[in-house]
Amino acid sequence: MRSDGKHRAPFALKAAAGLGLAFMHLPIALIFVYAFTTEDKSYQWPPPGFTLKWLEVTWNRPDVWEALKLSLQVATISTVIAMVLGTLCAAAVSRTKFFGRETISLLVILPIALPGIITGIALRSAFSIAEIPFSFWTIILGHATFCVVVVYNNAVARFRRTSGSLVEASMDLGANSFQTFRHVILPNIGTALLAGGMLAFALSFDEVIVTTFTAGQQSTLPIWMLEELVRPRQRPVTNVVAMVVVLVTVLPILAAYYLTRDGDQVAGSGK
Amino acid sequence: MTAASPVTETAQGTAILPGQGGWTGSLSDTFWRNPKLLLILMLTPPVLWLGIIYLGSLFALLAQSFFSIDEFSGMVQYELTLKTYGELFRPANLDIIIRTVSMAAIVTVAAACVAFPIAYFAARYARGKWKAVFYIGVMLPLWSSYLVKVYAWKLILAKEGILTWIFAKLHLTWLLEAWLAIPIIGGYSLSVSYTGTFLVFLYVWLPFMVLPVQAALERVPGSYIEASGDLGATPGQTFRHVIFPLALPGIVAGSIFTFSLTLGDYIIPQIVGSSRLFIGQAVYAQQGTAGNIPLAAAFTVVPIVIMGFYLWGAKRMGAFDAI
């Protein structure tokens, strides 16, 4: 551990911090071991042996593929909607001061601040009142709503660091609003938007609580997993799916980190 | 729009620049003259979306909590009444509320204790590469799949799982069995006990505590700690009288997440834990199998009210600056 000489961490603190980090990571690491176990009836540890068989079994499962496909579609469309709405909102809130500005920020943050079950059941009862049948689009309605905040937080942070004089200079030099947006604003906020979009994607891809209320008979990958968790039927396949989900969510998170790491604002601080 | 722009262009636009051609140019000029118009155009889509879809649903739900259900027919009666709220105070329902709030409180305290050393080390001692390691080390568990995390704990806590194995290797099986024999917190195995539920809650919400505490600690100037030491305080006294009070808003900010998330969760106690219900499960059961939407709605008001008071208290402690 590197430290600058005069500030050396006490051993107890180092140990507590290290153990804390280990506590946060070992359970996830365990998933990777179980994906290759030969045991298929219980969660026996240590695994009696290792095999690649379950990767193949999972690969040939149409229900897993369908759930994965649905999850990817939902996450993609929700992310696009959230990026448009979140960016518009962030631009409005950070560019000008107006009456009700605080209320707007609160409105954006509320869907993630209140427990997911409240959002879920509220949407479900609204759908039943309005007699909207559950479909692909009801899932999207729910997901886009709570994804806006992630894009918004990233965009607001970047807008705050982008000086307003850049925009004024561009206008003074004769560019109109659209040219300014295209050539000055977009390059400045681009990486923040991309990072926000990736986090929104990860959030939507993983969401289960709201989805259980807004999906009818369809299952996204998290819903598929939840059913397996409540009533385990095919543990080895679940193990493999869990591993794939970890890999699919980790990559956008790392990418989002590298896109925003020089910023003073933390990319994921909005969740 | 197009009819009005030539007039205004000659009036003031030409003094600086000639008006721009094309519809994009004139639209752009209109925005420049009427910043409010642009603001309204930018705000309308998100506000409509969130206002109609989210707030609309929320109010529809809350409104239903003032209806009641006919005990015989099982039909919802659309008359305003507080009867459904009265039902919350039945012993069985009150038990659920007390159980959930106590769990949320214990999880919050434990999360603060586990998160503090991590946050303190990351804020004060980690430099350069290690800073990034700690940052990603907290970020990855925060963002990785919630269900996978819960699943991992199902593997860990299972009777035949790794934890039982570790206890056996350390010749501590008697300790685990003694713990499971304790009434209330024990059970047949860890995965069907409150201890298990607590561990999973602690694990899943821990990163939400680390980040704000670290943010608060990073704002404590190093000179304060040196000054405290120079004035003769022992490290323990410095911690109690300087570091802890300054980190408190961060801890309160983190506790908003751990407390609120525990209050509303219904999946963790369903998968790891005893069969006794938490608020989230009660809501789920009432709206699903029982078909009692008014009572489900009244139940969701409980965490909203509790969090309202909590946020009000937290705001008074200055916790919002630490988020």
How far separated are the first and last CA of chain A, in Å rounded? 30
User: Contacts of residue A46 in chain B, CB cutoff 8 Å?
Assistant: 162, 165
User: Contacts of residue B128 in chain A, CB cutoff 8 Å?
Assistant: 2
Is A124 part of any domain? yes
Q: How many CA atoms lie within 13 A of B243 on its CB side?
A: 23
Q: Find the CB nearest B143 among A31, A145, A268.
A: A268
Chain A residue at shortest CA distance from B37 = A92
Write down all domains in chain B, each with its CATH number in brackets: 5-59 (no CATH), 89-321 (1.10.3720.10)
Neighbours of B81 (CB within 10 A): 12
The answer for A135, left when phi > 0, alpha when psi is -120 to 50, beta otherwise, is beta
User: Contacts of residue B35 in chain A, CB cutoff 8 Å?
Assistant: 96
Is the bond preceding B6 in cis, omega lying within 30 degrees of 0?
no
Neighbours of B21 (CB within 10 A): 9
Residue-wise pLDDT for B233-255, tens only, equals 888 898 889 899 888 888 988 88
d(CA B317, CA B247): 11
Check which CATH number belongs to the domain holding A190 and give it.
1.10.3720.10
Contact A197, A83 (CB under 8 A): yes
Q: B319 falls in which pLDDT band (50, 70, 90)?
A: low
Is A7 part of any domain? no
Q: Which residues contact B319 (CB under 8 A, 6 or more apart)?
A: B249, B250, B252, B253, B256
Contact B207, B142 (CB under 8 A): yes
The SS3 call for residue B260 is helix
Any chain A CB within 8 A of the CB of B283? yes
Phi, psi angle pair for A232, to nearest 5°: -65, 125
Is A254 part of any domain? yes
Closest among A245, A243, A237 to A208, alpha carbons compared: A245
Does A117 contact B266 at a Cβ distance shorter than 8 Å?
yes
Does B140 contact A25 at a Cβ distance shorter than 8 Å?
yes
Chain B closest CA to A179's CA: distance in Å?
Answer: 9
Residue-wise pLDDT for B201-240, tens only, equals 999 999 989 988 988 888 888 888 889 889 988 888 988 8
- Domain count of chain A? 1
Question: What number of C-beta contacts closer than 8 Å exist between A and B?
Answer: 272
CA B116 to chain centre: 18
Is A4 part of any domain? no
Does B137 contact A91 at a Cβ distance shorter than 8 Å?
no
Residue-wise pLDDT for B156-176, tens only, equals 988 888 888 888 889 888 888
Is A21 part of any domain? no
User: Contacts of residue A226 in chain B, CB cutoff 8 Å?
Assistant: 147, 267
Chain A closest CA to B264's CA: distance in Å?
Answer: 5
The answer for A46, left when phi > 0, alpha when psi is -120 to 50, beta otherwise, is beta
Is A25 part of any domain? no
Give the range of the structural domain holding residue A69, as residue numbers without chain letter. 30-260
pTM of the model: 0.82
Q: What pLDDT does residue B109 have? A: 95
Phi, psi angle pair for A50, to nearest 5°: -120, 145
Section B108-129 average pLDDT: 90
Per-residue pLDDT for chain A (271 aa), expressed as one digit of tens each?
333 444 577 888 888 888 998 998 899 988 888 888 887 777 877 888 888 888 888 888 888 899 999 999 999 999 999 999 999 988 888 777 777 777 887 788 788 778 888 888 889 888 888 888 888 899 999 999 989 988 988 888 888 777 778 888 888 888 887 888 888 888 888 888 888 888 898 889 888 888 988 888 888 888 988 888 888 778 888 888 888 888 887 887 788 788 777 654 443 344 3
Phi, psi angle pair for B77, to nearest 5°: -100, 125
Contact B30, B37 (CB under 8 A): yes
Residue B155 above 70 pLDDT? yes
Q: B12 falls in which pLDDT band (50, 70, 90)?
A: very low
Does B28 contact A89 at a Cβ distance shorter than 8 Å?
no
Is A122 part of any domain? yes
